[in-house]
A and B are shown apart, each in its own frame.
Chain A
Amino acid sequence: MIRLVDLSKTYQLGDQPVKALDQVDLAIEAGEYLSVMGPSGSGKSTLLNMIGLLDTPDSGRYFLAGREMNALNEEARAAERNRRIGFVFQAYHLLERLSARENIELPLVLAGMAPAERRPMVDQIIKRLDLDSRASHLPRQLSGGQRQRVAIARAVIRKPALLLADEPTGNLDSHSGAEVIALLEELNNQGITLLVVTHDPAIGQRAARRLRMEDGRIIDDSGATQPPSADSRHAHR
C-alpha cells in the first residue's frame, strides 16, 4: 500500500544541514500495525509527515495506493490527505471554538459534503467511540483522554486507509494513554493501517512491526508480520 524508494530530506538547522531522512526504503502493507521509535531528531516525525503528505522529499519516490505522490500538486495532495489519511497529534489540535461534534465533522466539511450526508456519518462515529454524552462540549470542557478520542474520531471520519499517530499518548496519563492505544488498536483490527511514532517503549513494543530510526535511517525493522506476505517482508537492515 505504501512504498518509499530512496527517500531523502535535508533540513537547514542554523547553518548546519541535518539529514532528517537519508535514502529511506520502506514498504507497508494494508492493515499493518507499525511503531516508529528512536531518539529525538532521528527523523521519525519527518517520516510520518512524508507519509502523511504534509512534507515533500528532496529526492526519492513515494507511492501511496499504487500512485506516485511526488507528481501531485498541492491541490491534489490536500485531496489525498482528506480522503486517505487520518492524523492524530500529541497536542490533539482541536479547534477550541468548535464543539466536539463540529471538530469531528471538519474533514467532511472541508471535503464539501452536504449536511444531510454528514450527519449520519458523524452520529455513527460518535456512537462507536462512545462520545455521545460529550458531543456538544467544547474541547476545554473535556479531559485529555476525551480530547484525544475526539481527535481520533476526526481522523477516521473519512474512513481513511491510513492512520498516522504522532506521540498520541504524549500528553496523557497512563490510564488515558492505555485507553487511546486500545482504541487505535481496535481500529487497526478493523482494517486500518496504523503507524504510531512514540518515545514510549511499552507502547512501541505493542506494534506487530517495529521500526527503529537513527540519523534519518531505519536501522532496525522487525519485519512485516501482519498480514504476512512475501512482498512486505522486504526488510531493511
Chain B
Amino acid sequence: MRTADLLQFNLRLLLRQRFRTLMSLLAMAVGVAAVLLLTGLGEGARQFVLNEFSLLGSDVLIMLPGRKETSGGIPPLTGEGTRDITLEDALALERLGSVQRVAPLIVGNAQTHVGGRSRELLTVGTSAVFFRLRELVVRQGQALPVIPLQRAEPVAVIGSNTRRELFGHQKALGAWLRIGDRRFRVIGILDDRGESLGLDLSDGILIPVAAAQQIFNTQGMFRVFLQIRPGSPMPQARNDIQALMQQRHGGERDVTLITQDALLGAFDDILQLLTLGVGAIAAISLLVAGILIMNITLISVSQRTREIGLLKALGASARTVRLLFISEALQLALVGSVLGAVTGYGLLALGHWFFPLLPFVVSIWALGAALGIAIATALVFAWLPASRAARMPPVLALQGLAR
C-alpha cells in the first residue's frame, strides 16, 4: 500500500470517529504539552539563575575569610574568618601584577532614617570598582566616586525600592539620609534590576567601604572581589593571591578563593537535575496517553473484525493489516504531539510575556524527548492489538467470529 493511500485510509477512519479521535488527541497533546511546559519552566529557571550569577564574568575571583574546602558540594557562602581581611589587604592585592581590580565588600543591615521615616535596610560598603564588576546601572545621578578606599566620603547610591520606601514622591537625588549616626547625601539611584548573588540591591544602599566600616564598627571585609588582569592565567593569579594573603596573615592560609565557575557548576547541576525530574514526571502522562491509544486500538480491532477479514480477502497480507493499525495509532500520536508542542510552547511564550524575567526557552532536547516518547509509546502500545488483527484467520474474521 502506498503511504499516501495509507494516510488517507486512516484519516477517513479517524474523522468518522470524531469523539474517540478527539479524546486520544487530547490525551497525547496534554502529555506532550506537560513535558514541554515543565522542562521549559525548569530550563528557564536554570538559565535565569545562571544569567544572574554569570554577571560576574569568568575572570573574577571571590575571596572570603576563613578556610573552606571547595571541592564537592556547594561552595561556602558564609565564612567564619580566623583573621579579618582588612582594607590594607585589599590595597596590597590591588598592587599584585596579575590583579586588575579589587572591590571590597561589607554587608550588613542598618537602620536608615529620612525625615520622620525609618527603615532597616541592606547596607553595602564597597567602592566604585564594584559597579563595574557587577555591571550595575545607575538610573539617576552617578555611581560611587573613585576615591581612596580609606576615605569615608558621606555619599550613598540607593536602590529603586529604597528610594520609594524612604522618599515616596519626594526628590531623592541630592537629599540627605542618616544611617546610624552618620549622614549621607544621595548621589545616585540604581536601575530596577539590582539583584545579584542573592543580594537584592534594589532594597539596599551602597556607601563607601570605609564609611561602612565605621557604621558596623568592623575591620574585616565580608567579601573581596578580584578581577584578574587580562592575559594572566587564572591558576597563577590564584597562587599569587594566596601567597600574598598567607604572607600578610603570618603564614596562615586563612582565606578561601572561589571562582564563578565553581559556584555556577553546583547550581547548574542541581537545577538540571530538577528539570529532568519534573520532565520525567510529565512523561508519565505520555505513558498514560499511550495506554489510552492501546485501548482505542484494541476496540478498533474488535469493531473492525469483518473489515479485517475483507481486507485480507482482497489481498491485504498480515503485514499490511498490522501496518494499518499501527499507522493509525502513529497518526494519532503525531497529530496529538504537534498540537501538544504548539500548546506547550504557546503557554511558555505566554508565561514569558507575563513574567519577562523568566527566559523563554525552547529546548530542542525536551521537544525531541517528548515527541520521541509519544511516538514510541504509540508504537509499542499499538503493536499488540495490531498483531492480533494481523493474526486473525480471514474466514473467521469475515464472519465476525475471530478474536
A residues engaging B (CB < 8 A)? 49, 52, 54-55, 74-75, 77-79, 81-83, 87, 89, 93, 95, 97-98, 106-107, 109-112, 114-115, 154, 158
Contacts and interface: CB of A to CB of B under 8 A. Distances in A.
Nearest to A84: B315
A110 B314 CA distance: 8
B135 to A, nearest CB: 64
A106 B314 contact: yes
B16 A114 contact: no
Contact of A112 (B1, B9, B318, B319): B1
B247 interface: no
Contact of B314 (A55, A74, A98, A107): A107
B313 A97 contact: no
A75 B317 contact: yes
B395 interface: yes
**Which of A55, A81, A154, A158 gathers most chain B CB within 10 Å?**
A81
Nearest to B316: A110
A93 B306 contact: yes
B2 A112 contact: yes
Interface of B: 1-2, 4-5, 9, 12-13, 16, 306-307, 309-320, 393-395, 398
A159 B128 CA distance: 93
A110 B315 contact: yes
A97 B311 contact: no
List 3 tightest A-B contacts by C-beta distance, closest first: A82-B315, A78-B317, A54-B394
Contacts of A74: 317-318
A78 B320 contact: yes
Contacts of A87: 313-314
A112 B9 CA distance: 13
B317 A79 contact: yes
A75 B319 contact: yes
A81 B314 contact: yes
Contacts of B318: 74-75, 78
18 contacts: A55-B393, A74-B317, A74-B318, A78-B317, A79-B317, A81-B315, A82-B315, A89-B398, A93-B310, A93-B313, A97-B13, A98-B12, A106-B311, A107-B314, A109-B2, A112-B1, A115-B4, A154-B314
Contacts of B314: 81-82, 87, 106-107, 110, 154
**Which of B4, B16, B316 gathers most chain A CB within 10 Å?**
B316
A110 B1 contact: yes
Contact of A78 (B16, B309, B316, B395): B316
Contacts of A97: 12-13, 16
A79 B4 CA distance: 20
Contacts of A82: 314-316
Nearest to B319: A75
B395 A55 contact: yes
B315 A111 contact: yes
Contact of B395 (A54, A98, A107): A54
**Which of B310, B320, B393 gathers most chain A CB within 10 Å?**
B310
A93 B315 contact: no
